[in-house]
């Protein structure tokens, strides 16, 4: 009987709040300038990645495995930008810090989902460069549009399962003490740590996802480039080495832009105590800036994109005199 009563009491004490309160920033007068910057980041990120997507769809010469990966990265950039920045601006600029329980879980899923897609796409692109440089004669047999499509579909499915499980496990938690989330969005860690009941499974899932989507991916990319540099060392001429390395420049820059801010924030948090506002600004910018810079990096460093832009400009310049003549 006591077991039944304890079970009943446990069910009665289970609390699922109607709303969460996103605490976010505190006591800073310069906040409006930060949000103005976020608006510019958002516009550039959406416009830049949309431009990359349109270029890849429009130009048949870009319908190759490498650009399928870049197309996927641009989609993920747009997704994360839209999941993060509009909500961040709405929450704090318009003083709308309450978010419903279901909306909180949806926001959590999409932010982490698209961040995971970004991270894993960088691994796929590293693999593409590894095969292209280390096994150039077998590249088209190993890496083709069909193979790349299968890899990308499997990647999206895997991330959906992992992030869906991580977010779904939040529903087993009871929030009987507080509904205040000490972050700038419905962040997984700050949400599960305020639960009243046992959150060991949630903590384990958080560590697993961090290991898989940050450390494992960074190790995989590092190993890929160790193989690439080893292959480059076997090329006899410096001109040949530089030509091969030039095809990796864009990817290396994008990897640096994505991983360095995240790792720096982790190291800073472990080394010394960060001011809450500093931590929020640094972590939010480390998520917002890569989607803005990625299309700029690829457009400026990729000859195919430059050729496409020159074609468009040439077409428009040829059409204009004809219109004026009429």
pLDDT tens figures, 185-214: 899 999 999 999 889 999 999 999 999 999
Say yes or no: domain 17-325 is CATH 1.20.1070.10.
Answer: yes
> Is-contact 298 121, C-beta < 8 A?
no
**pTM passes above 0.75:** yes
Sorted by sequence, the CB contacts under 8 Å of residue 120 that are 6+ apart come out as: 155, 158, 159, 213, 217
Tell me 293's DSSP state.
Answer: H
Percent of the chain with pLDDT strictly greater than 70: 89
Domain extent listing, the chain: 17-325
pLDDT band at 310 (very low <50, low <70, confident <90, very high): confident
The two tokens of residue 119 are: 């991270």
> Is-contact 145 63, C-beta < 8 A?
yes
Q: What is the per-residue pLDDT across 151-170, written as a single tens digit (0 to 9) for each?
A: 999 999 999 999 999 999 99
Q: What is the per-residue pLDDT across 271-297, written as a single tens digit (0 to 9) for each?
A: 776 676 777 788 888 888 899 999 988
Judging by beta carbons within 10 Å of its beta carbon (0-12, 13-18, 19+), is residue 191 exposed, middle or buried?
buried
Measured CA to CA, the distance from residue 132 to residue 151 in angstroms comes to 17
């Amino acid at each position: 009987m006591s077991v039944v009563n304890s079970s009943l009491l446990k069910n009665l004490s289970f609390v699922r709040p109607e709303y969460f309160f996103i605490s976010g920033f505190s006591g800073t007068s310069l906040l409006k300038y930060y949000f103005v910057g976020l608006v510019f980041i958002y516009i550039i990120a959406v416009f830049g990645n949309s431009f990359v997507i349109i270029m890849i769809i429009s130009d048949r010469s870009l319908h190759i495995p490498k650009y399928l990966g870049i197309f996927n990265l641009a989609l993920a950039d747009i997704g994360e930008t839209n999941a993060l920045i509009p909500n961040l601006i709405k929450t704090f600029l318009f003083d709308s810090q309450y978010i419903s329980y279901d909306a909180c879980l949806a926001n959590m899923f999409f932010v982490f989902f698209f961040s995971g897609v970004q991270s894993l796409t960088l691994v796929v692109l590293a693999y593409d460069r590894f095969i292209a440089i280390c096994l150039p004669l077998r590249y088209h047999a190993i890496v083709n549009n069909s193979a790349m499509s299968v890899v990308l579909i499997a990647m999206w499915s895997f991330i959906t399962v992992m992030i869906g499980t991580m977010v779904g496990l939040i529903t087993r938690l009871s929030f009987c003490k507080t509904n205040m989330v000490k972050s700038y969005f419905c962040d997984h860690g700050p949400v599960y740590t305020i639960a009243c009941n046992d959150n060991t499974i949630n903590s384990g899932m958080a560590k697993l996802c961090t290991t898989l989507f940050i450390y494992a991916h960074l190790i995989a990319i590092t190993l890929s480039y160790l193989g690439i540099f080893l292959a480059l060392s076997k090329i006899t001429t410096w001109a040949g080495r530089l030509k091969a390395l030039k095809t990796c420049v864009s990817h290396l820059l994008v990897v640096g832009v994505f991983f360095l801010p995240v790792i720096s924030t982790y190291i800073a948090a472990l080394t010394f105590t960060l001011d809450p506002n500093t931590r929020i600004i640094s972590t939010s910018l480390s998520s917002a800036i890569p989607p803005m810079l990625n299309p700029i990096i690829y457009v400026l460093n990729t000859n195919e994109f430059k050729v496409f832009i020159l074609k468009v400009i040439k077409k428009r310049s040829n059409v204009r005199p004809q219109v004026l003549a009429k």
